[in-house]
Amino acid sequence: MIPDAESAAPSDSPPPRSGWRSDKVVRDGAVLGVAVGLFGAAFGVLAVDAGLSVAQTSAMSLLVFTGASQITAVSVLATGGTMLAALGGAFLLAMRNGVYGVSLARRLQVRGLRRLLSAQLVIDESTAMAIAQSDDRIARRAFWATGISIFVAWNVGTLLGAVTGDAIGDPERFGLDAAFPAGFVALLMPQLRDRATRTIGFVAVAIALVAIPFVPAGLPVLLAAVAAGLAARSVPSRSIRDGAS
Amino acid sequence: MTWPAILGLAAAAYGCKLAGLVFGDRLRGIGVVERVLVQLPVAVLAAVVVVLTVSNERSIAIDARAAGVVAGAVAAWQRVPFVGVVVVAAATTAVMRAV
């Protein structure tokens, strides 16, 4: 069994280790990509069933590229909802990517064309993979590797699903709907060992749980983000003392 | 869904992502903001995990999916590598759905 580098390597680990660690982030990104590809196929089937053409379905995955928003939009339309409800719901879900972007900027350090390209890849998976790395260089590699792997897989999956109708079947049959949250837990775990971060995480989780029954999809996460932001300002943390010393 | 709606949603989604990166660059070097920015995505992803694990439209469902995520979380706590955690979670949920 390969030891987990997060616990084994200090943040100022020497360069030889980081190459080894880089291979690991590329591999983990590819694993997520495979799962995302199957959901892409499911989205393709769903979108064509909801009345979109194959071209429209693929355009959505290429240009919108944020899975939860896309699935919500076509689901609302498929169940007879209005266009405004479909787009509003999708937008609420897309807004969290903006929160990720604010936080990722300091680690990615991208400018110009690279910033325009990297923006399209700012999603749950690439963010989770990047923030799980203690070294900024590896975080950048994790972001790009995961973002590109998922972009390719999501779009290939979408096209296959849209063209074939139902070639792969329901990804939930394989338990893949549990794979994503569990994968995120694995990526967050090292940081949840820090008490201040854990406290703020609990605040976010509690707000999201309470909000789910009462507000539209997307808002629980945004409310949790606001609460966590306020909590992070007031909870004393180790990093603030490190910063002051 | 019409082409204008798709392109409008694409522009809005991309605008969120890019605005975040641009705004984040402006905020660098401010102590208290830096600290919030380190912890914020962890909290947001924790909320995403909750939503992906128990939400079913606007209700809360504790089912095979939640069981799989809990199994994966236990594996992660035991320092099982990432790929193992994903496999444990998916397998647990798939088996519970099959029986």
Tens-digit pLDDT profile for residues B16-57: 999 999 999 988 777 778 778 888 999 999 999 999 999 988
Contacts of A131 in chain B (CB under 8 A): 41-42, 45
Does residue A165 sit in the same domain as residue A201?
no
Q: Which of residues 169-208 of A touch B (CB under 8 A)?
A: 172-189, 191-192, 196-197, 200-201, 203-205, 207-208
A50-56 mean pLDDT = 94
Mean pLDDT of the residues in chain A: 86
Question: Domain check: are A164 and A230 in the same one?
Answer: no
Tokens (6 digits) for A212 = 């789910």
pLDDT category at A1 given cuts 50, 70, 90 is very low
Question: How many domains does the structure of chain A reveal?
Answer: 2
Token pair 């479909």 in the structure block, residue: A86
pLDDT of A17: 52
One domain for residues A140 and A36: yes
Distance between CA A54 and CA A60 in Å, rounded? Answer: 10
Q: Which residue has the higher pLDDT, A170 or B72?
A: B72
Domain that holds residue A244: 194-245
Question: At residue A8, does pLDDT exceed 80?
Answer: no
Q: Is B89 left (phi over 0), alpha (psi -120 to 50) or beta?
A: alpha
Shared domain for A212 and A173, answered yes or no, is no
Among A164, A188, A212, identify where a domain stops: A188
- Which tokens hold the place of A214? 């009462």
Q: Does residue A13 sit within a domain?
A: no
pLDDT over threshold 50, residue A10: no
A228 and A212 in one domain?
Answer: yes
Q: Which position has the higher pLDDT, A36 or B33?
A: A36
Q: Among candidates A125, A172, A129, A181, which has minimal Cα distance to B70?
A: A181
Looking at residue A225, what is its pLDDT?
Answer: 93
The set of residues, in sequence order, having a beta carbon less than 8 Å from that of A188 and lying 6+ positions away, is A128, A132, A201, B42, B45, B46, B49
Q: What is the pLDDT of residue B94?
A: 95
Reported ipTM exceeds the 0.95 cut: no
Neighbours of A170 (CB within 10 A): 13
CA distance A123 to B28: 21
A29 within domain boundaries: yes
User: Could you tell me if A104 and A181 lie in one domain?
Assistant: yes
C-alpha distance from B71 to closest chain A C-alpha (Å): 8
**Span B92-99, mean pLDDT?**
94
Res A101: pLDDT: 96
Is residue A222 domain-resident? yes
Q: Give A236's pLDDT tier (boundaries 50, 70, 90).
A: low
* pLDDT score, position A21: 65
Going by C-alpha positions, the residue among A110, A73, A114 that lies closest to residue A91 is: A73
Query: Residue A148: is its pLDDT beyond 90?
Result: yes
Same domain, residue pair A59 and A171? yes
A26 and A133 share a domain? yes
Structure tokens belonging to residue B29: 């070097």
Same domain, A91 and A166: yes
Looking at the domain assignment, is residue A4 inside a domain? Answer: no
